[in-house]
Each structure stands twice: as C-alpha cells, then as structure tokens.
Chains A and B, each alone.
Chain A
Amino acid sequence: MNTKQTAQLLKKQKKTILESWMKHQLADEALRDDLISNDDLRRQSEELLNGIITATEKGNFDNVYSSEYDLVNDVLNDISITRARQGFSPREVTMYVLSLKQAIIEVMIKEHKDQPELLFTEIQMTNKLLDNLSILTFETYLKGREEVILRQTDEINEISTPVIRVWDGILALPIIGTLDSQRTQIVMENLLQEIVNTGSNIAILDISGVPAVDSLVAQHLIKTVSATRLMGAECIISGIRAEIAQTIVHLGIDLSSIKTKASLASALQLAFTMLSLEVKKKNTGNIQNSRLIR
C-alpha cells in the first residue's frame, strides 16, 4: 500500500481534520480555557497539523526522530514546555495530541469506509504515529516540570543560607532545614567569604531551624567552626533547644570545645562581651531605649 496516498488524504482534508480536532478539544470538559484562549489554541493546533502534514508528505509515518519531523518536534516541544510552565496537568497535555488521533481517524473512516483493508492499515499507522508523538510530548512536558523543580532547588539553596551582619564585627548565619554535606559546603563558603569581606571576628551559627541534629550534622558543624577558627574568627553556635541538647548528650557528641548558647539573643550578648561592648538602658526618664557604649 502507498503511504503517500494517506499523506495526500491528510493534506486534502486538513481543514476538516482541524475543525473536528478543535471540536474535540473544545468539547472536552477538562479544557482549560482559563489558561489558553481559543484563538491561541487554534493557532497552535494548526501549526502542529501543518507540521505533521509536511513531515508525512514523503510517506514517513514511522520514524518520528527523522529530520522530516524536526518541525513537528519543535512545535511539540514548545507546546508542552509552555503548558508545563502554565500549570496544565499531564492528562490535559497528552489529551491534546491524542484528540488529534480521533479527528484523523474519523476523516479516514469517512473516505475509505468501503475499503476496510486499506482503512485498517491507515488507522494502525495513525495510531502508531500519534502514540509516538504523545510520548514525545509527555517527555518534554516532564522535562519542563523538572526544570521548574531544579530552578526552585537552586532558589531554595540560595535563600536558605544568608549571612547577616548583626553588628560591626559580628556575623549571624541562621541555618534552616537539614544540614547535609552540600548545604554545609555552601554555608561554609558563604561564611568564610563574608568574614573576609567584613573583617568580622565573631560568627554566630543559629541552628534553631535545623529539625534534627544527628552525628553527621554535628560533624558538619564542628568542621565549619574549625574552618572559622583557622581564619582567626570565633564561632558561637546558638539555637540549641532543650530536646536537641538531650539528644546530643545521649549520642555522645562532644561540643564542649565550642561555645554554645540556647538563643540567638544570648549568643549576641556573649559576642558583645567578647568584643568588650556593653548594652545599657538610657537613663533619661522612663523611655525604654537602649544604647550601646563602646
């Protein structure tokens, strides 16, 4: 049988296929008309259909990875990546391609209903082609979603390790979340760099936001403290909650060589003492105001 004939049929019936495809899409209850306008949908669909017609022109219905399908792949890539970002569900994205299958098969049935053998081969061919295309769509859709996740991971890593200059010569570093090797690396780099930049003498590592301190986390903390000391700065660990203190003792971790405090406030107090600074209440009446005297 001649696959080129089928290709010509697609070309000839393009308008009918597009109309019926649009009808299927619009009839689907899951259509997200809040995310995409009808005009955009029609434009996208026409572009994709045109691509498929050009690709199949020479009778290639099998190999969607050949160069003839480059344009189709591009259009599909574009559609699924934008849809992934817009928040379409996987079902909606796959249904978009699969509803084209229905439209094409309908046209074929109408044209070749008195040639069942030809019709059967054609339907099989269409099935295979559109299945391949929908797999392709799904792959790119997932890639689009993964990009979103990767970007968010980067963002989280970036925002979760801020170094704050709380006073002249005192840095504070609130750690939120689990401290793994990778995070420790980022924390250490940021902290050491900031010690150089600001010429600070004291760094406060606040672990109030660390959900569990096990021996690995403790080891990472000890390493960070040692590195800070090598730079000539002193390190205070604050935010050790009561339950964490008990757990550390039972685990047998020795933090006695490190200055530790229960709260960031008391760590700051200690830092002031170490720098010979004093916080005093202003003695002008009863205005609650404190001033720092060097």
Chain B
Amino acid sequence: MTKDTMQIVREQDVVPFRNRVRELATKIGMSLVNQTKLITAASELVRNMLKYASGGKITLEVISKTGQSGIRLTFADNGPGIENIPQAMQDGFSTGRSLGLGLPGAKRLVNEFDIKSVVGQGTTVTVTHWKNGR
C-alpha cells in the first residue's frame, strides 16, 4: 500500500498536487472521466483548504477492496473549522464570495465523502474514488 503526504501552503502547490493525483490515478488504470472527477474534487478541496485555513496536509493513498483499487485522499487542516456542516454542504452557500459549489460538488464527484470539523481546531475531509467509479 502506498502512502504519501503533501504539505500545501501556497497557491503554487495546487498544480503539483493535482499532477500527483493524476499520476496515481493513471498508475492504477483509472479511466479519464473518473480521473477528471477525482482531480476536480481534489482541486475544490485543496482550494478550500488554502482559502479558509491557509493550507494544510494531504495524505494520498492507493487502497483496495475486493478486486478493486481506488484512491483515498485526506485533507487535514488546522483552520477555523466549519460551524454548520449541513449548511456548508448546500449548493450555493459560501462565506467567501465563491460559487458555493466546492464541498457539495466534490461530494457528488467522488464515491465516498466524509467531513469532520471542530470549530477552532480544524477540518478533515476524506474522499475515496474507485477505479471504475463505483
């Protein structure tokens, strides 16, 4: 099982991170559509992390379950946390004058999505996407 971590501190770190995800996805033979979905979701989450928590740590893992491999990404930050998660997961809700599609959009793009947040301590988002997208 491969495990890798990346520190994100600046906007310039987004592109290398996305390339790393693409590399892993290509390695396990993920199709182009699923690759793009995962990369876009990852891109949303990493931008959130930069914008609201000024950076954090991402863990990239290749995981497998019965006959199927996938990629799990864990985004952990020590930012202000999210007060009302159901509200943050609504389409069009944003505290930062953006489209408000980052979190709900990312959830729709990947197979498994988990968000935990403690106000004042930080937020951890875990997403998993399987090779065939199911």
B-contacting residues of A (Cβ < 8 Å)? 178, 180, 211-216, 218-219, 242-244, 246-247, 250-253
Contacts and interface: CB of A to CB of B under 8 A. Distances in A.
B44 interface: yes
B18 A212 contact: yes
Contact of A251 (B11, B32, B98, B109): B109
Given A214-B43, A242-B33, A251-B101, A180 B108 contact: no
Contacts of A243: 32-33, 35-37
B98 A244 contact: no
Given A211-B18, A216-B47, A253 B101 contact: yes
B82 interface: no
Interface in B20-76: 32-33, 35-37, 39-40, 43-44, 47
Interface of B: 11, 14-15, 18, 32-33, 35-37, 39-40, 43-44, 47, 91, 98-99, 101-102, 104-106, 108-109
A251 B36 CA distance: 12
Contacts of A215: 44, 98-99, 101-102, 105
Contacts of B18: 211-212
Contacts of B14: 178
Question: Max chain B CB contacts within 10 Å: which of A219, A243, A251, A253?
Answer: A251
A96 to B, nearest CB: 32
A255 B16 CA distance: 28
Given A212-B40, A243-B36, A250-B37, 10 more contacts: A212-B18, A215-B44, A215-B98, A215-B101, A242-B33, A243-B32, A243-B33, A244-B36, A251-B108, A252-B104
Nearest to A217: B43
23 contacts: A178-B14, A180-B11, A211-B18, A212-B36, A212-B43, A213-B40, A214-B40, A214-B102, A215-B44, A215-B102, A215-B105, A243-B32, A243-B35, A244-B36, A246-B33, A246-B37, A247-B33, A247-B40, A250-B37, A251-B105, A252-B91, A252-B108, A253-B101
A96 B105 CA distance: 56
A251 B40 contact: yes
B39 to A, nearest CB: 5
B105 A216 contact: no
A253 B101 CA distance: 7
B133 to A, nearest CB: 10
Contacts of B99: 215, 218-219, 253
A188 B2 CA distance: 42
B58 to A, nearest CB: 16
Report, nearest first, the 10 A-B pairs whose CB atoms are least far apart: A251-B105, A243-B36, A214-B43, A215-B101, A243-B33, A250-B108, A247-B40, A215-B99, A250-B109, A214-B40
A215 B40 CA distance: 9
A211 B108 CA distance: 20
B40 A216 contact: no
A242 to B, nearest CB: 7
Nearest to B22: A211
A175 to B, nearest CB: 15
Contacts of A250: 37, 105, 108-109
Nearest to B47: A216
Contacts of A212: 18, 36, 39-40, 43
A271 B109 CA distance: 33
Contact of A219 (B32, B98, B104, B108): B98
Nearest to A180: B11
A5 B36 CA distance: 71
Nearest to A214: B43
B52 to A, nearest CB: 13
Contacts of A242: 33
A246 B33 CA distance: 8
Nearest to A211: B18
A216 B40 CA distance: 10
